[in-house]
Structure 1
Amino acid sequence: MSLSDLPILYSFRRCPYAMRARLAIAASGVSCQLREVVLRDKPEALRLASPKATVPVLVLPDGKVIDESLDIMRWALSTHDPKQYLQPEQGDAQQMLALIAVNDGPFKRHLDCYKYPDRHTEDEQFTDAASFSVLHRGQASEWLMDLNARIEQQAYLMGPRPCLADVAIAPFVRQFAQVDRAWFDAQPWTALSTWLLNFQSSPLFLSIMDKYPAWTPESEVVRFPAV
């Protein structure tokens, strides 16, 4: 298959949703064209592919569009899953998806309020942005302590090896940690911290964090993962 016939992935390097899509694609070994997007200047091709115009968006060769990160992950891994991410060592797929749903729902809400309090205080009629941020940091931390307890018992979120839940959730824990790294590192979640550090230093994660210039219609095709 020529480069121009590969699926097209619109992505943004630092977005955790885009990260997890790239992680699954890289783990699967499926190749695609990577189009790096500047969020403040989104290309028209992205808007035409998906009216939401949010990354990640995957456009398949037959024209089908997948514009939810978890759906992209499942598409890639259903094509090829050499690490058996879709088959957790403990529990089942429904339990794994339920864990991801908490990350994508309540935890992500608290993360956004912690990281960007000025964008959300009006939603709750809260005038003190700093206190609002600390409140949501604490609420998010309750779930992180639950994750820590899981990892203390079994090394990863659903057993002795990583699965889809680890790959889908880790980019968001990373984002949370980076808001105030000193505070994060001082918390009593040693197992979670080790899990996150191992994730961030893994060959898989490092392989999806290369920097690329913003895509334009005149850009050369970028093959992802790089070979």
Structure 2
Amino acid sequence: MNHDLPVLYSFRRCPYAMRARLAIRHANIKVELREIELRSKPAQMLEASPKGTVPVLVLGDGTVIDESLDIMLWALQQNDPGKWLQVNDFEALIQTNDSSFKYNLDRYKYAERYPEHPAGFYRQQGELFLAELESRLMRTQYLCGSYFSIADAAIAPFIRQFAAVDERVFQTLPYPALKRWLAAFLTLPLFDAVMSRYAAWKPGSSSVAFGYDAV
């Protein structure tokens, strides 16, 4: 393993880490992947980014990028074979996903922690965003046009998480275009490639190269 490679601290199921891995893989950039355990975060990661959340990317020169969207942009600005960045108005859409939708998603998923309202209330609040996505997907195949872009990669992991809270209920919701879009995302070879399982990294353990095979 080349020790000058960027190091990516990740957690397989985290949607923020998922979107970062999608962009890195798409950009065909090679990194050293370090899968972490949330209950036992490595000191090296916490030293690089004391906030303690994934993903964290440490570049060869020591620069730390610890926001998932910034990692996506870093990767795509180096190599963007699918022209993910050549779409309009993705910033506002991702901002809505990361703010109000994520707020309600967390409360829907962990409703027992937020007893002020029942889970259904938070689901309905989240559906405001689903309805916006449905409207877009009724007009175009993907969120920002005719091809998969940064918006789809950044948002799909969170819609996947929303659907998984109660899959039976999700299937009853009136968003057929969104359901088709999500199902297509889940069958992408790119998605499959970034969801491989790795043992938790510990100092001295074998390194895992990630992102260097074109998909």
**TM-score, normalisation: structure 1:** 0.92
Give the Cα–Cα distance (whole angstroms) in 1 for the partners of residues 19 and 86 of structure 2: 17
Give the counterpart letter for 1:157 in structure 2. L
> Aligned residue for 1:63?
62
Q: Does the CA-based 8 Å contact 2:34-2:208 persist in structure 1?
A: yes
Give the Cα–Cα distance (whole angstroms) in 1 for the partners of residues 173 and 112 of structure 2: 25
Shift of 1:82: 0.3
> Aligned residue for 2:209?
223
> Aligned residue for 2:51?
52
> Aligned residue for 2:149?
163
Q: Deviations over 1:156-179 (max 9, x none)?
A: 111111111110000000000000
2:94 equivalent to 1:100: yes
2:172 equivalent to 1:190: no
Q: Deviations over 1:182-226 (max 9, x none)?
A: 111111111100100100110000000000000001111100026
Q: Does the CA-based 8 Å contact 1:9-1:57 persist in structure 2?
A: yes
Q: Does the CA-based 8 Å contact 1:3-1:221 persist in structure 2?
A: no
Unaligned runs of 5+ in 2: none
Q: Deviations over 1:21-60 (max 9, x none)?
A: 0000000000100000000010101100101111000000
Give the Cα–Cα distance (whole angstroms) in 1 for the partners of residues 98 and 85 of structure 2: 18
Give the counterpart letter for 1:133 in structure 2. A
Q: 1:226 to 1:79 in 2, by over 3 A?
A: closer
> Aligned residue for 2:37?
38
Q: How does 1:1-227 map to 2 (within 5 A)?
A: 3-88=2-87, 92=88, 95-121=89-115, 126=116, 131-225=117-211, 227=213
**TM-score, normalisation: structure 2:** 0.97
Give the Cα–Cα distance (whole angstroms) in 1 for the partners of residues 93 and 160 of structure 2: 17
Shift of 1:119: 2.4
Give the counterpart letter for 1:197 in structure 2. A
Runs of 4 or more, structure 1, over 4 Å off, are none
Q: Does the CA-based 8 Å contact 1:4-1:221 persist in structure 2?
A: no
Shift of 1:132: 2.3
Identity of aligned residues (%): 51
How many residue pairs get aligned? The number is 213
Query: Larger helix proportion, structure 1 or 2?
Result: 1
Greater shift after overlay, 63-72 or 144-153?
144-153
Give the counterpart letter for 2:106 in structure 1. D
SS of 1:152 mapped into structure 2: helix
Greater shift after overlay, 2-11 or 211-220?
2-11
Shift of 1:181: 0.5
Give the Cα–Cα distance (whole angstroms) in 2 for the partners of residues 59 and 120 of structure 1: 35
SS of 1:162 mapped into structure 2: coil
Q: Does the CA-based 8 Å contact 2:54-2:66 persist in structure 1?
A: yes
Q: Give the CA RMSD over aligned residues.
A: 1.0
